DNA sequence: GTGAAAGCGCTAACAT
DNA sequence: ATGTTAGCGCTTTCAC
């Protein structure tokens, strides 16, 4: 790998001249001839500025990290796109990390920011994590923006309007004529799960519909959780005629388990989920969902992080534009 | 962020003493007392070695990059785990990158290795890429290992035994009694698609079964491709009674489209796919698949890269251990 | 047993 | 218009 010195030697000039030219230093007075010689030499040698050299000099990397529990979650696709687009617009690179095991001590984040590998981090905390577990991470005071949750004592978070999303899903079922509607929710400690449940309850209350204790499950966001939830909820007497599922992956499990139990969707049971994904198009029946502005969440999070990096105070933001939108497919219909 | 100098000042010793102690320099003669003082000071200041400083000194980062076209592809889950485990065992960190748009000029790879951000790169090339498009990347001579393809003129690749996988899937259908079996393949330029097709054809030939031109589609690996393929293949007269699908995502499309067309799986049509994923458990009917050793592919690729980084010649490897394994679910059965 | 100093690649303030 | 130099944080050789 060629260095500035190599280029300088080849062009017959000093190192600083090369630096000035190649980094477009403002107000650098360099003759057209030398400038050309330098550019040529750099091209010949396929010169690229050394990352470590720059990082050391500037104490800045222009790299941010995005750490998510499960990168293969369809939720992450749009998020990553949003993060990358906004980062690119600010000439930053994005480094991706998994945090299935984001240790409570925040080792991963410390390694990233503490060792100066990146300037700041976007973290999506796994749903099963308790807020108390994250206290060390929060207290370390790193430039950090939480995705999908606000953390007590920490300013720097970007979340979706989960409540509006769940409300929209619920209202759709109510408009179809359903009255016995149940909720397949996430874990009680999950920030998003609590908000989605609140949205569900708000819509039910607004319509004057009861929500008995047997109409809410709070097991989690993976297909197996959806399966278990369905079995539990359908045991109620009378069983619900419709389901608001808090997460699209759990909804996949709900649909599969409904087939196993011989429950016809949407005839016997209407199903709508919060969050859209490509998988929802390929279920049977195709799944009606509420699409959340996940891409914009990514962009907003990067903006928030940059404010922090620029010395700002940090802030918590609910991403509400565009608002949640119903994607009508075939898993919902009026009750029999 | 504390530096060696900060620690040294606090411990009342020189920078070099601190470096020796904190990096466990072999044969460093440091008194127990100073050693303790230094460790204490470092802990007090939450000292962490600066990444850029080390990288500059060593001209090495101990980071490798894994670049895949679509991180949210379920295929990537096991792969990432394998890569991370093997990298961790060698004290390397893994940096993830998307390459949906891995530019033919290899800009992304140049940025990673050329600027010294990472020591080497694992690249999975998107299926639609033509080998010729990758020539510049290959010629740049970077420490590179290709995943899932061998590139002409490049030594450093790790691939699955696609042929064995497709053969196993096909043999399963033949054993069930099917004779008219069709293949839903990937794009003609795709390395894996060609090998899987070969495995399908080999198994058919071994059983003395014909493969008419109407029994092979080569559209791609996403659900929409599977849908299109199904419509095309079922137009044959007589239509096939079973399908070997080269990819699990395409198989999801096949199943969904079969529902739309009123084709009963497995009664009218048996379906088996190459590659397993959690999604396959939640389709209806649950999808029979051939599980490939994707985790081991990740490990092997890291090993190959490390040999290259250690000055070795690089090599191409087919990961065959464990061998492809049939995961029997409910989408396959004997023909009517 | 401990410290001083050079140098990795880069930029910027300061010469000339 | 161009060159010299200090210094970012780190390791390591050399000196004491």
Task: Measure the CA–CA gap between A67 and B26, rounded to whole angstroms.
Answer: 35
The stretches of A207-247 forming alpha helices (DSSP H) are 223-233
User: Does some domain include residue A113?
Assistant: yes
Of A29-43, A241-255, A261-275, B188-202, the poorest mean pLDDT is in A29-43
User: Does some domain include residue B328?
Assistant: no
Please check whether residues A138 and A281 belong to one and the same domain. Answer: no
Residue in chain A nearest B100 by alpha carbon: A81
Please check whether residues A281 and A315 belong to one and the same domain. Answer: no
Nearest residue to nucleotide D10 when comparing alpha carbons to its C1'?
B53
Residue with tokens 């000439």: A91
Phi, psi of A290 (to 5 degrees): -110, 115
Please check whether residues A186 and A274 belong to one and the same domain. Answer: yes
**Has residue A25 got a pLDDT over 90?**
no
- The whole-chain average pLDDT of chain A stands at 94
Phi, psi of B188 (to 5 degrees): -60, -35
Residue A87, number of CB atoms within 10 A of its CB? 24
The helix (run of H) or strand (run of E) holding residue A312 is none
Task: Measure the CA–CA gap between A261 and A335, rounded to whole angstroms.
Answer: 18
Please check whether residues A152 and A116 belong to one and the same domain. Answer: yes
Residue with tokens 């993830």: B96
Is A49's CB within 8 Å of B115's CB? Answer: yes
Nearest residue to nucleotide D5 when comparing alpha carbons to its C1'?
A16
pLDDT bin (cut points 50, 70, 90) of residue A320 is very high
User: Does some domain include residue B324?
Assistant: no
Residues of chain A with pLDDT > 70: what percent? 98
Residue in chain A nearest B57 by alpha carbon: A52
Cα dihedral angle (A68, A72, A74, A80), rounded to 10 degrees? 50
**For residue B98, which residues of chain A lie inside 8 Å, CB to CB?**
80, 84, 96
Mean pLDDT of A224-250: 98
Task: Measure the CA–CA gap between A209 and B317, rounded to whole angstroms.
Answer: 62
Mean pLDDT of A68-87: 90
Please check whether residues B286 and B271 belong to one and the same domain. Answer: yes
* Beta-strand pair A288-291/A325-327: antiparallel
Please check whether residues A79 and A101 belong to one and the same domain. Answer: yes
Give burial (CB, 10 Å; 0-12/13-18/19+) of A178. buried
Task: Measure the CA–CA gap between B251 and B182, rounded to whole angstroms.
Answer: 13
| Three-state secondary-structure class, residue B336 | coil
> What confidence score (pLDDT) does residue B105 get?
66
Report the helix count and the strand count for chain B, using DSSP H and E.
Answer: 12, 12
Q: How far lies B225's CA from each of B29, B185, B217, B247, in Å?
A: 66, 9, 9, 10
Interface membership of A51 toward B (CB under 8 Å): yes
Is B84's CB within 8 Å of A76's CB? Answer: no
Q: Residue B85: is the preceding peptide bond cis (ω within 30°)? A: no
Task: Measure the CA–CA gap between B17 and B14, rounded to whole angstroms.
Answer: 5
B268 against A137, higher pLDDT: B268
| Three-state secondary-structure class, residue B153 | coil
How many CB pairs below 8 A link A and B? 114
User: Does some domain include residue A330?
Assistant: no
Residue B26 maps to which CATH number?
Answer: 1.10.260
Judge contact between A144 and A156, C-beta under 8 A: yes
Instruction: Quick: pLDDT tens for A138-186.
Output: 888 899 999 999 999 899 999 999 999 999 999 999 999 999 999 999 9
**Has residue A101 got a pLDDT over 70?**
no
Please check whether residues A20 and A88 belong to one and the same domain. Answer: no
> What confidence score (pLDDT) does residue A108 get?
86
Which residue range(s) make up the domain with A210?
A: 162-292
Please check whether residues A95 and A41 belong to one and the same domain. Answer: no
Interface membership of A97 toward B (CB under 8 Å): yes
Interface membership of A116 toward B (CB under 8 Å): yes
User: Does some domain include residue B147?
Assistant: yes
Angle at which helix A248-261 crosses helix A223-233, to 10 degrees, equals 50
Please check whether residues A226 and A203 belong to one and the same domain. Answer: yes
Please check whether residues A192 and A116 belong to one and the same domain. Answer: no
Judge contact between B118 and B109, C-beta under 8 A: no
For chain B, list residues with pLDDT below 70: 100-105
Interface membership of A229 toward B (CB under 8 Å): no
For residue A120, which of A87, A71, A152 has the smallest C-alpha distance?
A87
Nearest residue to nucleotide D2 when comparing alpha carbons to its C1'?
A17
Instruction: Quick: pLDDT tens for B215-249.
Output: 999 999 999 999 999 999 999 999 999 999 999 99
> What confidence score (pLDDT) does residue B131 get?
84
Please check whether residues A218 and A302 belong to one and the same domain. Answer: no
For residue A115, which of A80, A87, A142, A94 has the smallest C-alpha distance?
A142
Please check whether residues B108 and B188 belong to one and the same domain. Answer: no
Judge contact between A125 and A268, C-beta under 8 A: no
> What confidence score (pLDDT) does residue B101 get?
62
Q: What sign does the CA torsion over A84, A88, A89, A92 have?
A: positive
> What confidence score (pLDDT) does residue A280 get?
96
Task: Measure the CA–CA gap between B73 and B90, rounded to whole angstroms.
Answer: 26
Residue A265 maps to which CATH number?
Answer: 3.40.50.2300
State how many domains chain A has.
3
Q: Which residues pair with B273 in a beta bridge?
A: B245, B289
Task: Measure the CA–CA gap between A21 and B289, rounded to whole angstroms.
Answer: 57
Task: Measure the CA–CA gap between A303 and B83, rounded to whole angstroms.
Answer: 31
User: Does some domain include residue B329?
Assistant: no
Residue B256, min C-alpha distance to chain A (Å)? 5
Q: Which 14-33 residues of chain B approach strand D with CB closer than 7 Å?
A: 15-16, 19-20, 22-23, 25
Structure tokens at B307: 């040999």
Across all strands, nucleotide nearest B28 (CA–C1'): C1
Give burial (CB, 10 Å; 0-12/13-18/19+) of B232. middle
Name, in order, each residue with C-beta under 8 angstroms of B30's C-beta and a sequence gap of 6 or more: B17, B20, B21, B38
Residue B252, min C-alpha distance to chain A (Å)? 6
Distance A79 CA to D4 C1' (A): 49
pLDDT bin (cut points 50, 70, 90) of residue A104 is low
User: Does some domain include residue B130?
Assistant: yes
The C-alpha angle A306, A310, A315, rounded to 5 degrees, equals 60
For residue A316, which of A109, A147, A192, A194 has the smallest C-alpha distance?
A147
Task: Measure the CA–CA gap between B150 and B133, rounded to whole angstroms.
Answer: 14
| Three-state secondary-structure class, residue A289 | strand
What's A224's DSSP letter? Answer: H
A24: left (phi over 0), alpha (psi -120 to 50) or beta: left
Task: Measure the CA–CA gap between A248 and A271, rounded to whole angstroms.
Answer: 11
User: Does some domain include residue A56?
Assistant: no
């Amino acid at each position: 790998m060629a260095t500035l010195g190599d280029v300088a030697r080849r062009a017959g000039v000093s190192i600083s001249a090369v630096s000035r030219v190649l980094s477009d230093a403002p107000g650098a007075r360099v003759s057209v001839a030398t400038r050309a010689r330098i550019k040529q030499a750099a091209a010949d040698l396929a010169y690229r500025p050394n990352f470590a050299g720059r990082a050391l000099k500037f104490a800045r990397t222009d790299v941010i990290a995005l750490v998510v529990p499960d990168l293969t979650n369809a939720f992450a696709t749009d998020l990553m796109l949003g993060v990358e687009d906004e980062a690119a617009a600010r000439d930053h690179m994005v480094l991706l990390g998994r945090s299935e095991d984001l240790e409570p001590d925040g080792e991963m984040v410390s390694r990233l920011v503490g060792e100066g590998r990146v300037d700041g981090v976007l973290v999506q905390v796994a749903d099963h994590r308790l807020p108390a577990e994250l206290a060390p991470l929060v207290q370390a005071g790193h430039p950090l923006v939480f995705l999908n949750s606000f953390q007590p004592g920490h300013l720097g978070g970007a979340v979706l309007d989960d409540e509006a999303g769940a409300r929209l899903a619920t209202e759709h079922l109510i408009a179809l004529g359903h009255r016995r509607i149940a909720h397949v929710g996430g874990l009680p400690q999950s920030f998003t799960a609590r908000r989605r449940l609140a949205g569900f309850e708000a819509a039910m209350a607004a319509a004057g519909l009861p929500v008995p204790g047997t109409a809410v499950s709070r097991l989690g966001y993976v297909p197996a959780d959806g399966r278990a939830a369905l079995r539990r909820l359908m045991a109620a007497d009378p069983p619900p005629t419709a389901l608001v599922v808090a997460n699209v992956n759990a909804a996949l499990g709900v649909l599969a388990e409904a087939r196993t139990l011989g429950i016809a969707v949407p005839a016997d049971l209407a199903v709508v989920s919060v969050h859209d994904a490509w998988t929802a198009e390929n279920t049977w029946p195709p799944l009606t969902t509420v699409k959340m502005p996940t891409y914009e969440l990514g962009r907003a999070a990067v903006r928030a992080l940059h404010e922090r990096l620029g010395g700002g105070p940090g802030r918590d933001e609910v991403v509400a534009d565009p608002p949640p939108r119903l994607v009508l497919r075939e898993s919902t219909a009026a009750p029999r």
